[in-house]
Structure 1
Amino acid sequence: MRQTNLPTSDTGILLDGASYAVGGRTILSGLTLRLTERRIGILGQNGSGKTTLLRLMAGLIAPTAGSVAVEGTDPAKDRRAMLSALGILFQNPDHQIIFPTVEEELAFGLRQMGRSGTEARKAALAVLAAHGRAHWARAPVATLSHGQRQLLCLLAVLAMEPRTILLDEPFAGLDLPMQIRLTRLLGGLPQRLVTITHDPAMVEDYDRVIWLEAGQVRRDGPAGPVAGEYRAEMRRLGGFDADTHLAG
């Protein structure tokens, strides 16, 4: 593994008037952002457009207006270039894992990058050994706990050595010990991290936080002040019985 000296591109991720609409509903509207900081948080409530924004940045969907570029490349048009530029960790590992054993799962992305089966297997075993999990190699993925499967997904991303990693609510459903382990691992990574979350505590020590609301940027700036304002607003909203209309 070469993680310790991994470079991060200064061009980062650029959104220029990027919008996304489906079925007549606008989910993201006219976002213009240049993401170059090492640690970036995207904060927002459920339904604010956070995950759609991540999917745009990853190239999993294309904007319906405007443009998205990752290191100068349209991620939706050049998936191969994105293999070394971007890694993605979703909140549900079962939506990401496709192979029956740990070794096969780790080797898959490496083979996509053009490595031979032998090279991919060797690199996969090296990743496991570097993280004290060599004994996982032949284990069926089905025998791993939810937290262990999430760690496996992260290791699969790290094996490919992307320059930026997108994290979509990475601690969802994890117990506290696993959250602590992943926090420690993520904190030491040289890659740029873009973390999607509804929890301000997760990103309040980041370099920058973008508060997304109804598909638009409400606040964008240093993490501490933006996370603090978001927390105060969530407390204010929590003081209202906003869901009483659902009672029948």
Structure 2
Amino acid sequence: MGIVLDGVDYAVMGRPILQGISLALDEPRIGIVGRNGSGKTTLLRLIAGLVAPTTGRVAVDGIDPARDRKGVLRRLGILFQNPDHQILFPTVAEELAFGLRQMGQEARAAEAAVMRLLEAEGRAHWAGSATSTLSQGQKQYLCLQAVLMMEPGTILLDEPFAALDLPTRARMARRLSSLAQRLVTISHDPEAVVGCDRVIWIEAGRVFADGTANEVLPAFQDAMQRLGAGDADIDIAG
């Protein structure tokens, strides 16, 4: 059934962040682009159920993600830009088991599932390692594996390559491309979504363009280059 946003507005203390968003997202690879502050990350948070719309409706496979957090766990996972904002537990095994425990799996079964995963990935020696000792790329890998443990049908990716060096970015891109899940990638970087089936451009809280990558990205890049050619940041916001 995919992701549906129907007439969605979102405001904070009366200030509109998103306005009039109506989308039906069911393609395998979806990109959402926009400048910083355009509202694209807020859109991701609405889809994930981390915030509820001020008006309108959000549904993931027919479930309201903000109202039914447990029901949406198997349907939707999220990978944040900064893994340090996502990792909760002191060891790798505990972090990987957390989602399974949330879904009602007993501790022993969750631990066994974690070890099977780590062994299959050639990382059994990671189990007792402190998450704080991992590199940025290893932390991002851990967060992705924690999401995959719950077998969601869709994964939301918030600037998944922003904090990675080039070799780690290449490895992450290769891993993501191999996944069967629907991927919704949010980024200000056109390169991150160039292979997507559909790209949505968010500008000033509204859908500015919606089409194939070949249709949307050249126009987005041209607009960003024009903005970059001027002194767009000289004014102080009032």
Report the TM-score when normalising by structure 2. 0.97
The whole-number CA distance in structure 2 between the counterparts of 1:131 and 1:54 is 29
**Which range moved further: 121-130 or 81-90?**
121-130
**1:56 aligned partner:** 46
Unpaired segments ≥5 residues, structure 2: none
* 1:236 pairs with 2:226: yes
Letter in 2 for 1:25: R
2:161 touches 2:192 (CA, 8 Å); kept in 1?
Answer: no
**2:18 aligned partner:** 28
How far did 1:140 drift?
Answer: 0.6
* 1:108 pairs with 2:98: yes
The sequence identity of aligned pairs, in percent, is 63
- The correspondence for 2:196, drawn from 206, 213, 219, is 206
Q: Could you give the per-residue CA deviations for residues 20-69 of structure 1, whole angstroms, max 9, x where no partner exists?
A: 00112100001000000000000000000011000100011100000000
The whole-number CA distance in structure 2 between the counterparts of 1:90 and 1:115 is 24
The whole-number CA distance in structure 2 between the counterparts of 1:86 and 1:224 is 27
* 1:119 pairs with 2:109: yes
How far did 1:223 drift?
Answer: 1.2
How far did 1:129 drift?
Answer: 2.2
The whole-number CA distance in structure 2 between the counterparts of 1:202 and 1:173 is 13
Closer/same/farther in 2, CA of residues 134 and 224 from structure 1, 3 Å limit: farther
The whole-number CA distance in structure 1 between the counterparts of 2:184 and 2:233 is 31
Instruction: Report 1:70-109 matches (<5 A).
Output: 70-109=60-99
The whole-number CA distance in structure 1 between the counterparts of 2:98 and 2:233 is 45
2:31 touches 2:187 (CA, 8 Å); kept in 1?
Answer: yes
C-alpha RMSD over aligned residues: 1.0
The whole-number CA distance in structure 1 between the counterparts of 2:222 and 2:113 is 46
The whole-number CA distance in structure 2 between the counterparts of 1:14 and 1:241 is 38
Instruction: Report 1:140-159 matches (<5 A).
Output: 140-159=130-149
How far did 1:244 drift?
Answer: 3.3
- The correspondence for 1:44, drawn from 22, 31, 34, is 34
How far did 1:94 drift?
Answer: 0.8
1:205 touches 1:224 (CA, 8 Å); kept in 2?
Answer: no
1:147 touches 1:178 (CA, 8 Å); kept in 2?
Answer: yes
How far did 1:227 drift?
Answer: 1.2
The whole-number CA distance in structure 1 between the counterparts of 2:9 and 2:149 is 32
The whole-number CA distance in structure 2 between the counterparts of 1:127 and 1:224 is 37
Letter in 1 for 2:159: E
* 1:175 pairs with 2:168: no
The whole-number CA distance in structure 1 between the counterparts of 2:15 and 2:173 is 36
